[in-house]
Amino acid sequence: MIDQMYRKAVLTVAGQKTIENAVRARGWGMAQRFVAGETPQTAIQAVHDLKKDGIMANLDLLGEFIESPAQCTQFADNVITMLDAAHADGITPYVSIKLSSVGQGKTVDGEDLGLTNARRIIRRAKEYGGFVCLDMEDHPRVDQTLAQFRTLHSEFGGQHVGTVLQSYLYRTEKDRASLDDLNPNLRIVKGAYLEPETVAYPQKADVDAAYRRLVYAHMQAGNYVNVATHDESIIHDVQMYALAHGVSKDAFEFQMLYGIRRDLQRNLAAAGYRVRAYIPYGRDWYPYFSRRIAETPRNAMFVLRGMLKG
Ligand code: FDA
């Protein structure tokens, strides 16, 4: 409950224009802790740096709730430019996209623009042997995202497209089971949006318990699981579960956000686990940055200290 109140307070304050302007003006230095840079080149450099520690990468061009269809298509073009740049640099691209950024919910030429643009992105990623994960956004988008995932999976195959499920939503365990026929590559997260009690568990303990159930069920079904969390107790339990049930280390991976628990990322990689860092980059870093602050007061203190230093 306290977690929920803290998150709500931070996201409400962060949503105010005056706060946003102040943080945008003075906050880039602090945002760099969580965001690799503003250009594809800075993100690609971060991929190479992580590789030295045996950590894989997931590139994420920032941008949410982009308004016009032209902007959405431009955004998709920018993702494709990034795929080209990564490939040219010898990297097999692994990227995440938010369907809202590429036009989900906007109909152009009789088809959902998000689906059209996602197709273009996945087609290019597939040419390079790469992978595209469809991030999960706020709850009104879940049905459409899962339906579009199913379509894209049938067109490009599970080697090239995956999606995300959020353990805080009551519906998610049913959603996971309903996807089993695809043997999908799924990322399991707790969920980052401010959701009402009508759709999401308000208590952290319930979110955490559902998280474990989801990971175990997905492993048990023989599917590849991306265990995306910084929660050490869950990470430990997943390691134990995998050992006890003979799930090999290449049947799952741990995923964490760039700049968060770098020690844990390195230690897991050194212990032979697959580890991937989610590397956000781009000019539209403010909403992403606000959500990271809303996750833990420790991050808010980090920002406040930075701002006081001027
Ligand atoms: P929890 O919040 O319980 O934190 C566990 C511990 O980790 C805390 O005690 C703290 O010490 C540490 N920690 C967590 N967050 C931290 C932070 N920001 N800074 C410092 N320490 C922190 N969400 C979503 O809705 N849709 C999506 O598509 C994705 N995608 C995604 C990809 C990847 C790779 C990750 C890691 C996360 C996401 N998320 C997401 C975000 C996710 O839903 C969730 O908000 C965060 O991962 C934080 O939750 P934890 O699982 O880390 O646990």
Give the pLDDT confidence of 91-139 residue by residue, as tens digits: 999 999 999 999 999 999 999 999 999 999 999 999 999 999 999 999 9
- Beta carbons within 10 angstroms of residue 223's beta carbon: 19
187 assigned to some structural domain = yes
Same domain, 11 and 54: no
Same domain, 140 and 51: yes
| Structure confidence at residue 310 as a pLDDT band (50, 70, 90) | very low
CA distance 36 to 66: 21
Do 92 and 219 lie in a common domain? yes
> How far is residue 283's CA from residue 31's CA, in Å, rounded to a whole number?
11
Residue 75 has pLDDT above 80, yes or no: yes
Residues 221 and 112 occupy one common structural domain? yes
Residues belonging to the binding site for FAD are 136, 166, 190-192, 204, 229-230
Of 274, 233, 248, nearest to 53 by C-alpha is: 274
Q: Are residues 224 and 267 in the same domain?
A: yes
pLDDT one-digit tens code per residue, 279-309: 999 988 887 787 777 777 776 666 666 555 5
Q: Can you tell me the mean pLDDT for 137-163?
A: 98
Best residue for ligand 1 mutational test, from 231, 232, 255, 293 (most atoms within 8 Å of Cβ): 231
Q: Residue 34's closest CA among 3, 69, 62, 70? A: 62
Ligand 1, residue 207: give the atom nearest the CA: 3
pLDDT tens-digit readout, 199-237:
999 999 999 999 999 999 999 999 999 999 999 999 999
CB of 242 within 6 A of ligand 1: the answer is no
Which residues are bridge partners to 257 per DSSP? 278
CA of 110 to the centre of ligand 1 (A): 37
**Whether residue 186 sits in one domain with residue 276:** yes
Q: Does 40 have pLDDT greater than 60?
A: yes
Residue nearest to atom 12 of ligand 1 (CA): 230
- Closest residue by CA, ligand 1 atom 1: 231
Domain count of the fold of the chain: 2
**Whether residue 165 has its Cβ less than 6 Å from ligand 1:** no
Q: What is the pLDDT of residue 304?
A: 62
Q: Determine the pLDDT at residue 25.
A: 67
Position 207 scores a pLDDT of 98
Domain shared by 42 and 111, yes or no = yes
11 lines ligand 1 (CB under 6 A): no
> Residue 16, SS3?
coil
Task: Collect all residues with Cβ–Cβ distance below 8 Å to 77 and sequence separation of at least 6.
Answer: none
Structural domain for 292, as ranges? 1-35+285-310
- Please state, as a whole number, how many other Cβ atoms lie within 10 Å of the Cβ of residue 192: 19
7 ligand 1 Cβ < 6 A = no
